[in-house]
Amino acid sequence: MARGQATAVPLTGPVEDYLKAIYELQIRDGAASTSALASALHVAPASVSGMMRRLDAQGLISHEPYHGVHLTARGRRAALRTIRRHRMLETYLTQVLGFPWDAVHDEAERLEHAASDDLIERMAAALGYPTVDPHGAPIPSADGDVEEVRLRTLDELAVGDTVRMIRVSDRNPSLLRYLAEIALQPGAEVTLLARAPFDGPLTLRIGDAEIVVGSNLAAQVLVEAMSTSSR
């Protein structure tokens, strides 16, 4: 059974952190380089190299010179198990305990390595088996299935496009607080009204309000086209 396979070998917190980071970099870049991992995990490149040898010896990654690191099937299962715990914890903290969405990432980081699979499954049942976390990220299933959909960012839109806000990273509390202030959260309907030249600000309609945001912020907000039936 897939769940049993994912939990067969206990992994340390640092190993789980590396596997999670490699998974996220693979989704974004196709592979994880030493420099990208060092940046993501805030560690020295030498520390990354040492951990890569350890993960390779455990059969969790494969490394191709000049092409970066990829997770093996076993490594991917372990990464998704950790990601499931993290995102389910974030969802439980917001929906049941009333934490704001900008305060749950660090709490989930601390708890994800200690929470048992049984606890996470009880949380999932209590929540009605959610499929996305408070920031719009997909929650892997208990069997290690996850749907990663290619999304556009707000700054990729053409003037006049109307989209639905889907997802934003959970790692920047200040950004999340600001997005909550302007009601730019998962599910929000957004129309790009105007774009200033030379990477200038974007004017958005969010609900009934017009908001001006910078291109840097817009590049961090993931959206999808509105279906005809939902308009």
- Cα 82 from Cα 19, distance rounded (Å): 9
Distances (CA, A) of 129 to 3, 94, 123, 124, 164: 16, 15, 8, 5, 23
- Cα 158 from Cα 155, distance rounded (Å): 8
Residue 139 has what DSSP assignment? P
Measured in whole angstroms, how far is the alpha carbon of residue 142 from the centre of its chain?
17
For the entire predicted model, the pTM comes to 0.89
Measured in whole angstroms, how far is the alpha carbon of residue 224 from the centre of its chain?
16
* pLDDT, one tens digit for every residue, the chain (231 residues): 344 344 445 899 999 999 999 999 999 899 999 999 999 999 999 999 999 999 999 999 998 777 889 999 999 999 999 999 999 999 999 999 999 999 999 999 999 999 999 999 999 999 999 999 999 999 999 999 998 888 999 999 999 999 999 999 999 999 999 999 999 999 999 999 999 999 999 999 999 999 999 999 999 999 999 865 455
Reference 90, options 110, 66, 75; nearest CA is: 110
Domain 1-148: give its CATH code: 1.10.10.10
Domain extent listing, the chain: 1-148, 152-230
Reference 18, options 4, 42, 44, 37; nearest CA is: 37
> Parallel, antiparallel, or unpaired: how do β-strands 152-153 and 221-225 relate?
antiparallel
β strands within 85-188, DSSP E: 152-153, 162-168
pLDDT of residue 227: 66
- Give the position of tokens 């992994």: 11
Residue 184 has what DSSP assignment? -
Angle at 125 between CA 122 and CA 126, to 5 degrees: 85
C-beta separation of 161 from 191 below 8 A: yes
Domain 152-230: give its CATH code: 2.30.30.90
Reference 19, options 70, 67, 68, 64; nearest CA is: 70
Residue 8: how many CB atoms within 10 A of its CB?
10
pLDDT of residue 6: 41
Q: Which residues are 165's β-sheet partners?
A: 223
Residue 116 tokens read as 């048992």
pLDDT of residue 4: 38
Residue 68: how many CB atoms within 10 A of its CB?
20
Say what the alpha-carbon torsion angle 23, 26, 28, 33 is, to the nearest 10 degrees: 110
- Cα 143 from Cα 123, distance rounded (Å): 16
